[in-house]
């Protein structure tokens, strides 16, 4: 009998520990729960890697989609749950407009130049889209997927931008690795104040409290219309018979981080989050 009592105590203690462990896991699952119709607002800032589509038949400067880290941007986003892990989203962003130019001189050496025409040549952008919350077992929130359309406009009037067509920019380049000295004249042939396009994206959230999460997001944009287009004319000492062209459509990669806040309403009023 004396030998049985310790065994009974150990078994009861094990059951108690298991019960506590299961209770803690249930609490974690409840805290990760997101009501299908929850509403959120997020405020964030990020880094923009905008793209300029460049075509150079001389294969001298960087061609294709030339992407550079060229400005920072703030944005605000509203998310409205629709059920079945789907949600509607809309938001506003403030950014810059410019042109990327670069050249790979050698395998190890390159140069890049990002230019704006007017110091306050910026854009105001609005987006509307849909998203899907990827939620797995035990309410674990893996990722959010996003897709939608965007539109925007620059803050300059057409009369203020006319000067861009009348004033070509000249870049004087001295390349130490290659010994080349030359000039590139950039001529803008056309511009538009307005832009439109589509985007796809993915985001991940880290829960900080009942109402607040830290959110990281990546968006890739595809511009439909040309904002700025023009020609690069190379100096005569390079002996090129053809000019290069460029086109800015408002596309590129946009990475941001910020806070996502749960808005109180009838659905999440009494829910654990």
Domain ranges of the chain: 1-31, 36-263
Rounded distance, CA 46 to CA 62, Å? Answer: 25
Tell whether the model's pLDDT for residue 83 goes beyond 80.
yes
As a whole number, mean pLDDT of residues 193-212 equals: 92
Q: What percent of the chain has pLDDT over 70?
A: 81
Q: Residue 29's pLDDT is what?
A: 55
Tell whether the model's pLDDT for residue 155 goes beyond 90.
no
Most confident of 25-29, 99-103, 135-139: 99-103
Tell whether the model's pLDDT for residue 11 goes beyond 90.
no
Q: Residue 210's pLDDT is what?
A: 81
Tell whether the model's pLDDT for residue 3 goes beyond 60.
no
As a whole number, mean pLDDT of residues 209-225 equals: 93
**Look-up of token digits 């307005």:** 194
Tell whether the model's pLDDT for residue 16 goes beyond 50.
no
Lowest pLDDT segment from 18-22, 119-123, 145-149:
18-22
Tell whether the model's pLDDT for residue 17 goes beyond 50.
no
Q: Residue 201's pLDDT is what?
A: 97
Tell whether the model's pLDDT for residue 219 goes beyond 60.
yes
Q: Residue 70's pLDDT is what?
A: 78
Tell whether the model's pLDDT for residue 217 goes beyond 50.
yes
Tell whether the model's pLDDT for residue 213 goes beyond 50.
yes
As a whole number, mean pLDDT of residues 39-60 equals: 94
Q: Residue 270's pLDDT is what?
A: 43
Q: Which fold, 36-263? A: Porin (2.40.160)
As a whole number, mean pLDDT of residues 39-62 equals: 94
Render the chain in DSSP notation, one character per residue.
-TTHHHHHHHHHHHHHHHHHHHHHHHHHHHHT---TT-EEEEEEEEEEEEEEEEE-TT--S--EEEEEEEEEEEEEEEEEEEETTEEEEEEEEEEE--EEEEEE-SSS-EEEEEE-SSTT-EEEEEEEEEEEEEE-GGG-EEEEEEEEEEEEEESS-HHHHHHHHH--EEEEEE-TTT--EEEEEEEEEEE-SEEEEEEEEEEEEEE-SSSEEEEEEEEEEEE-S-SEEEEEEE-GGG--SS-EEEEE-S-EEEEEEEEEEEEP-TTTTT---
Q: Residue 28's pLDDT is what?
A: 52
Neighbours of 249 (CB within 10 A): 23
Contact residues for 53 (Cβ-Cβ < 8 A; gap 6+): 64, 65, 66, 246, 247, 248, 249
Choice between 215 and 113, residue whose per-residue pLDDT is larger = 215
Q: What are phi and psi of 161, to 5 degrees?
A: -90, -10
- C-alpha gyration radius of the chain: 27
As a whole number, mean pLDDT of residues 232-251 equals: 94
Contact residues for 103 (Cβ-Cβ < 8 A; gap 6+): 60, 61, 62, 110, 111, 173
As a whole number, mean pLDDT of residues 45-74 equals: 92
Most confident of 45-54, 64-73, 118-127: 45-54
- Tokens at residue 137, please? 């077992």
Contact residues for 7 (Cβ-Cβ < 8 A; gap 6+): none
């Amino acid at each position: 009998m004396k030998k049985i009592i310790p065994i009974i105590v150990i078994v009861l203690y094990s059951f108690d520990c298991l019960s506590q462990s299961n209770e803690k896991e249930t609490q974690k699952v409840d805290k990760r729960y997101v009501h299908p119709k929850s509403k959120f607002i997020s405020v964030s800032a990020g880094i923009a890697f905008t793209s300029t589509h460049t075509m150079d038949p001389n294969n001298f400067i960087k061609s294709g989609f030339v992407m550079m880290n060229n400005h920072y941007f703030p944005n605000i986003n509203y998310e409205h749950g629709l059920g079945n892990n789907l949600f509607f989203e809309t938001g506003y962003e403030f950014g810059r407009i410019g042109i990327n130019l670069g050249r790979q001189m050698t395998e190890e050496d390159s140069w890049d130049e990002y230019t704006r025409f007017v110091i306050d040549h910026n854009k105001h952008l609005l987006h509307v889209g849909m998203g899907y919350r990827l939620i797995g077992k035990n309410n674990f929130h893996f990722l959010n997927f996003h897709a939608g359309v965007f539109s925007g406009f620059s803050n300059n009037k057409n009369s203020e931008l006319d000067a861009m067509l009348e004033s070509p920019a000249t870049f004087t380049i001295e390349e130490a690795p290659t010994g080349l000295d030359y000039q590139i004249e950039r001529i803008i042939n056309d511009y538009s104040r307005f832009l439109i396009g589509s985007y796809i994206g993915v985001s991940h959230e880290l829960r900080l409290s009942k109402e607040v999460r830290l959110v990281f997001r990546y968006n890739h944009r595809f511009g439909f219309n040309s904002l700025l287009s023009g020609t690069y004319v190379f100096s005569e000492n390079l002996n090129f018979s053809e000019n290069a062209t460029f086109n800015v459509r408002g596309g590129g990669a946009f990475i941001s981080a910020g806070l996502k806040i749960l808005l109180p309403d009838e659905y999440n009023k009494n829910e654990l989050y």
